[in-house]
Structure 1
Amino acid sequence: MAPTSAPPTWQHRAAHAVTLLALPSCLWRIGLALGFPLGYTDEGHRIICPPGLAGPVYLIGLSVATEIAALLTLGLVQRWGEVVPRWVPVIGGRTVPVPAVLIPAWIGVAALGALWTPFAFWWAMPHDDMTPAGHTLVGFLYLPLVAWAPILAVLAVSYRRRR
């Protein structure tokens, strides 16, 4: 099945916005990995980022994985989400099967919804390992991620309609 039409500008903007939604929390985690408490008490920081290499590697790896997942959202509006780039060995130039895009997208919608929706209630949850200012700051850094699943769902529906 060949692609039918280009996505409208608002969809490109929405897909690019996802990468920006994830950025504040990713940068915050990298700061934690670099040893800055960033709103945690000393004990809370030791829990979230244990001494040694494992804690920082985990936090940086999580930030990188989050941004990669956010960048994959672009596949719903970019040409490479419809046709495999020619430089890819063996399959380059072939049409991307619609299920190969939509199945991971809908799994992502479910996973992201389950993961980030509770952050809409962040301020109602106690966090004894954080300072009051840190608790407020982290809430604002993570709150944008609540929008990721709905944006991904809208883009997945649009992708399906176009293809």
Structure 2
Amino acid sequence: MSSLFARGSVGAPVQNWALVATVLCLLLPLPSVVWRVLMLSGVDVGFADAGVYTSSGEGVGYVLALDGVEVLVGLACLGLGMRWGERVPRAVPGVGGRVIPRWLPTAIGSLGVVAMLLIWGALLYSLGRVWLGLGEGWVPDHGMSGIERAFLLACYVPFFAWPLAIIAALAGYWRRRRPVLRAS
């Protein structure tokens, strides 16, 4: 139990696979961000409900906030493979230079992944029922051409792989930051 709350080592080399995972954490959500920015910009991406988001400040704000959160989470995940993810930057008043306990980013990231998986599971269940003809409801590709649907999929399939990259980055961070046991 004490190793759970140990601060963890600082400065250990980042595993290659964990570094790749942290970079993917930043890159995987970006195509969906681009798709939504194109939609907000008036580009016809085939989304029949685009007007719901482009016709009001609240709709535009919602989409931009969603995009901002995705990019910020991606950047935070990048810290799992960088030195600034081990120690609070010195410029931060009061806490600058302190070692970040390894459990903190791991716990926050794990809760985020669980939340993402629950939301996406419910969404995929709902959409899957409609696409399989087992129920009625809203689907984002209603009225899209084959090319528009392919573009939507190309932009959103990487987004659904995002939790896997976050899990790998968190595992690498936890493993790399484990406390070093010293012989007495």
Q: Are the aligned partners of 1:83 and 1:96 in contact in 2 as well (CA < 8 Å)?
A: yes
- Could you tell me how far apart the structure 2 residues matched to 1:122 and 1:78 are? 37
Structure 1 residue runs of 5 or longer lacking an equivalent are: none
1:29-68 matched pairs, under 5 angstroms: 29-41=36-48, 44-47=49-52, 49-68=53-72
Q: Are the aligned partners of 1:112 and 1:148 in contact in 2 as well (CA < 8 Å)?
A: no
- Could you tell me how far apart the structure 2 residues matched to 1:54 and 1:87 are? 35
Q: Are the aligned partners of 2:21 and 2:168 in contact in 1 as well (CA < 8 Å)?
A: no
Q: Which position in structure 2 is the counterpart of 1:152?
A: 166
Following TM superposition, the consecutive aligned residue runs of length 4 or more in structure 1 with deviations greater than 3 angstroms are 115-119, 121-124, 126-130
Q: TM-score, normalised by structure 2?
A: 0.76
- Could you tell me how far apart the structure 2 residues matched to 1:50 and 1:129 are? 18
Identity of aligned residues (%): 28
Is the counterpart of residue 19 in structure 1 residue 23 in structure 2? no
Relative contact order, CA 8 A, sep 6+: which one is greater?
A: 2
Q: Are the aligned partners of 2:47 and 2:140 in contact in 1 as well (CA < 8 Å)?
A: no
Q: Which position in structure 2 is the counterpart of 1:3?
A: 10
Shift of 1:68: 0.7
Shift of 1:122: 6.9
Amino acid at match of 1:154: A
Q: TM-score, normalised by structure 1?
A: 0.84
1:87 to 1:10, Cα distance in 2 relative to 1, 3 A: same
- Could you tell me how far apart the structure 2 residues matched to 1:128 and 1:11 are? 35
Residue 30 of structure 1 aligns to a residue whose secondary structure is helix
Report the number of matched residues: 160
| 1:25-75 Cα shifts (integer Å, max 9, x gaps) | 10111111222331123xx2223x151222122212211111111111112
Shift of 1:129: 3.4
- Could you tell me how far apart the structure 2 residues matched to 1:128 and 1:151 are? 26
1:59-98 matched pairs, under 5 angstroms: 59-98=63-102
Structure with the bigger percentage of helix: 1
Is the counterpart of residue 105 in structure 1 residue 105 in structure 2? no
Q: Are the aligned partners of 1:122 and 1:139 in contact in 2 as well (CA < 8 Å)?
A: no
- Could you tell me how far apart the structure 2 residues matched to 1:80 and 1:115 are? 30
- Could you tell me how far apart the structure 2 residues matched to 1:128 and 1:70 are? 26
Is the counterpart of residue 162 in structure 1 residue 176 in structure 2? yes
